[in-house]
């Protein structure tokens, strides 16, 4: 076979070229465009609505200005960029970036926010830079920095219609590689503690949905034959762990049903407040009469 990244890009271009150029006014896609300014729903939007519909409306419907960015969001994005850089170099046949180079990248991204950063208790800019360095070192020392197979795509988007009653779903794919058995889809997660099997299964629908979207988008070029989360803990000694995820079609259908319910709420303008632990890091709390102050909110489960 040729260069996998190019083959995959060609397969996607073919799919995009055969897609209608713009949504007709009565489609769910057009409705989503008129509500959120985007012709699709992303997994991030669906999760946001499920966590607090009112926060979803502030962000995606009213497009209100956020008061700050939570440090966990900024840090997670910076670490994803660092992991992606390692795989991009692999894809382009370049040497693996050094620990200093990657930690510098993380630091630059942490300093790049235009919004004020809201740190968690006991956290500061310095502690996050140091944590970034430790996590980069742990990742580079693990086999997950250079897993078996050829890199096919890094930080790419996949999208498609999974149900004609809901807008196309879009997701960001962290990493896909081609092994002798087929395509392996990977998603990175940074977390405070190690994941147990319950946490893996709780997060698995996202990966299964992305695999379904990719399979459809690639239209027979290759299939996703394995899925995995790679978690890196935000600890004094970060631990890198791979968690395999099995495909379960009923889980994909349950996920589609949930997205359908969320979409129904969005298109009907159902945006109730859902006060609780998310209020602690909600960038719209100053506008929200239901906001629970940090002392009153229970911890993230």
Give the footprint of ligand SF4 on this chain (CB under 6 A).
52, 54-55, 273-275, 278-279, 282, 284-285, 288, 290-291
- Pick the closer one to ligand SF4 by CB: 55 or 106: 55
Output the smallest distance, CB 71 to ligand SF4, in A.
17
Q: Decide the pairing of beta strands 41-42 and 169-179.
A: parallel
**Residues with Cβ < 8 Å from 205, sequence gap 6 or more?**
251, 252, 254, 255, 258
CA dist 178 and 223 (Å) reads: 10
Output the smallest distance, CB 278 to ligand SF4, in A.
4
Output the smallest distance, CB 50 to ligand SF4, in A.
12
- Pick the closer one to ligand SF4 by CB: 235 or 288: 288
CA dist 106 and 159 (Å) reads: 28
- Pick the closer one to ligand SF4 by CB: 185 or 282: 282
Output the smallest distance, CB 60 to ligand SF4, in A.
12
Output the smallest distance, CB 289 to ligand SF4, in A.
8
Output the smallest distance, CB 11 to ligand SF4, in A.
40
> Which contiguous run of DSSP H or E holds residue 231?
strand 224-233
- Pick the closer one to ligand SF4 by CB: 191 or 281: 281
- Pick the closer one to ligand SF4 by CB: 65 or 101: 65
- Pick the closer one to ligand SF4 by CB: 52 or 138: 52
Token pair 């395999």 in the structure block, residue: 244
E strands, 63-149, are 69-70, 117-118
**Residues with Cβ < 8 Å from 72, sequence gap 6 or more?**
120, 281
The pair of three-digit structure tokens given for residue 35, joined into one six-digit string = 């509500």
Output the smallest distance, CB 299 to ligand SF4, in A.
14
CA dist 175 and 242 (Å) reads: 13
- Pick the closer one to ligand SF4 by CB: 147 or 278: 278
Q: Which long-range contacts (CB under 8 A, 24 or more apart) does 26-34 make?
A: 27/167, 28/164, 28/165, 28/166, 28/167, 28/263, 28/267, 29/167, 29/168, 31/167, 31/267, 32/167, 32/263, 32/266
CA dist 234 and 193 (Å) reads: 7
Output the smallest distance, CB 68 to ligand SF4, in A.
12
Do 117 and 74 contact (CB within 8 A), yes or no? yes
- Pick the closer one to ligand SF4 by CB: 10 or 62: 62
Going from the C-alpha of 137 to that of each of 30, 140, 175, the distances in angstroms are 45, 5, 19
CA dist 199 and 56 (Å) reads: 24
């Amino acid at each position: 076979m040729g260069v996998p990244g190019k083959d995959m890009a060609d397969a996607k271009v073919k799919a995009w070229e055969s897609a209608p150029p713009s949504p007709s006014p009565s489609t769910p896609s057009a409705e989503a465009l008129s509500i959120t300014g985007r012709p699709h729903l992303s997994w991030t939007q669906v999760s946001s609505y499920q966590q607090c519909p009112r926060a979803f409306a502030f962000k995606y419907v009213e497009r209100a200005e956020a008061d700050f960015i939570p440090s966990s969001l900024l840090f997670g994005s910076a670490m994803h960029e660092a992991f992606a850089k390692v795989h991009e170099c692999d894809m382009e046949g370049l040497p693996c970036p050094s620990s200093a180079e990657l930690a510098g990248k993380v630091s630059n991204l942490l300093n790049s926010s235009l919004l004020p950063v809201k740190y968690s208790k006991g956290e500061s800019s310095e502690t996050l830079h140091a944590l970034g360095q430790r996590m980069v070192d742990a990742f580079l020392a693990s086999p997950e920095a250079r897993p078996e197979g050829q890199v096919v795509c890094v930080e790419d988007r996949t999208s498609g219609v999974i149900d004609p009653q809901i807008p196309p779903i879009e997701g960001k794919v962290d990493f896909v590689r081609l092994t002798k058995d087929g395509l392996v889809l990977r998603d990175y997660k940074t977390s405070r503690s190690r994941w147990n099997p319950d946490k893996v299964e709780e997060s698995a629908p996202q990966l299964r949905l992305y695999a379904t979207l990719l399979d459809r988008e690639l239209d027979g070029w290759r299939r996703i034959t394995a899925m995995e989360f790679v978690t890196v803990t935000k600890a004094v000694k970060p631990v890198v762990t791979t968690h395999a995820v099995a495909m379960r079609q009923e889980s994909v259908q349950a996920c589609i049903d949930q997205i359908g319910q969320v979409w129904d709420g969005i298109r009907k303008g159902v945006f109730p407040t859902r006060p609780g632990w998310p209020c602690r890091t909600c960038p719209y709390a100053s506008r929200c009469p239901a906001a629970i102050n940090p002392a009153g909110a229970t911890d993230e489960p």
